[in-house]
Chains A and B, each alone.
Chain A
Amino acid sequence: MRNLTEEELRAVFEKLAKFIGKDIKALVEEPNEGYCFRLQKDRVYYVREVVSAAATHIARHNLASLGLCVGKFTHGGRFQVHITFITYLARFAKYKVWLKSQSEMSFLYGNNVLKGGVARLTENTPKNQQVVVLNQNEIPLGFGVTARSSLELQQASSTDLIVLNQADIGSYLRDEDHFVGCGL
Chain B
Amino acid sequence: MDGVEVDLGSLSCADVRPILQGETKQEQEERILRAVEFLVQGLFTLPEQSSERKSQRELPEPFSVIPRAKPIPKEKPLTKWEQFARIRGIRKRKRDKFAWDETRGEFRPIHGYRSINDESDQVILPHDPSLQPGESPFDRVKEGKRNRVKNNRKSQERNKRSIAKDQLSSRPVRTDKYKSKDLEKSAKIASISTRSLGKYGDRNKPRQKLSSIKASHKKNIIPSGAERERTFQAVNDVLKNF
Nearest neighbor of A8 in chain B, beta-carbon distance: B234
- Chain A interface secondary structure, helix, strand, loop or mixed? helix
Q: Is the CB of A10 within 8 A of B227?
A: no
Does A174 reach chain B (CB closer than 8 Å)?
Answer: no
Given contacts A2-B220, A60-B217, contact A36 B239 (CB under 8 A): no
Q: Is the CB of B231 within 8 A of A37?
A: yes
Does A41 reach chain B (CB closer than 8 Å)?
Answer: no
Point out which of B224, B234, B242 has the most chain A C-beta atoms below 10 A from its C-beta.
Answer: B234
Q: Is the CB of B242 within 8 A of A21?
A: yes
Does B75 reach chain A (CB closer than 8 Å)?
Answer: no
Q: What are the residues of chain A within 8 A of B228 when measuring CB–CB?
A: 28, 36
Q: What are the residues of chain A within 8 A of B235 when measuring CB–CB?
A: 9, 13, 24-25, 28
Q: How many residues of A contact B (CB 8 A)?
A: 21
Selected contact of B224 from candidates A12, A36, A56, CB within 8 Å: A36
Does A152 reach chain B (CB closer than 8 Å)?
Answer: no
Interface string of A121-148 (1 = CB under 8 A from B): 0000000000000000000000000000
How far, in angstroms, from A1 to B219 measured CA to CA in the complex? Answer: 11
User: Closest approach, in angstroms, between the C-beta of B219 and any C-beta of chain A?
Assistant: 9
Selected contact of A17 from candidates B217, B231, B233, B238, CB within 8 Å: B238
User: Closest approach, in angstroms, between the C-beta of A11 and any C-beta of chain B?
Assistant: 9
Q: Is the CB of B220 within 8 A of A9?
A: no
Given contacts A36-B224, A60-B217, contact A28 B231 (CB under 8 A): yes
Selected contact of B239 from candidates A2, A25, A56, CB within 8 Å: A25
Interface string of B212-237 (1 = CB under 8 A from A): 00000100111010011011111101
User: Closest approach, in angstroms, between the C-beta of B217 and any C-beta of chain A?
Assistant: 7
How far, in angstroms, from A37 to B230 measured CA to CA in the complex? Answer: 11
Q: Is the CB of A9 within 8 A of B230?
A: yes
Q: Is the CB of A17 within 8 A of B239?
A: yes
Q: Is the CB of A3 within 8 A of B222?
A: yes
Q: What are the residues of chain A within 8 A of B222 when measuring CB–CB?
A: 3
Q: Is the CB of B242 within 8 A of A6?
A: no
User: Closest approach, in angstroms, between the C-beta of B225 and any C-beta of chain A?
Assistant: 11
Interface string of A1-35 (1 = CB under 8 A from B): 11100100110111001000110110010000000
Q: In A39-53, which residues have CB < 8 Å from any B CB? A: 49
Q: Is the CB of A3 within 8 A of B234?
A: no
Q: Is the CB of A10 within 8 A of B224?
A: no
How far, in angstroms, from A60 to B216 measured CA to CA in the complex? Answer: 14
Q: List 17 A-B contacts (CB under 8 A).
A: A2-B220, A3-B221, A3-B227, A6-B234, A9-B234, A13-B234, A13-B238, A14-B238, A22-B242, A24-B239, A25-B239, A28-B228, A28-B232, A28-B235, A36-B227, A36-B231, A56-B221
Closest 4 CB pairs of A and B: A9-B234, A2-B220, A13-B238, A10-B234
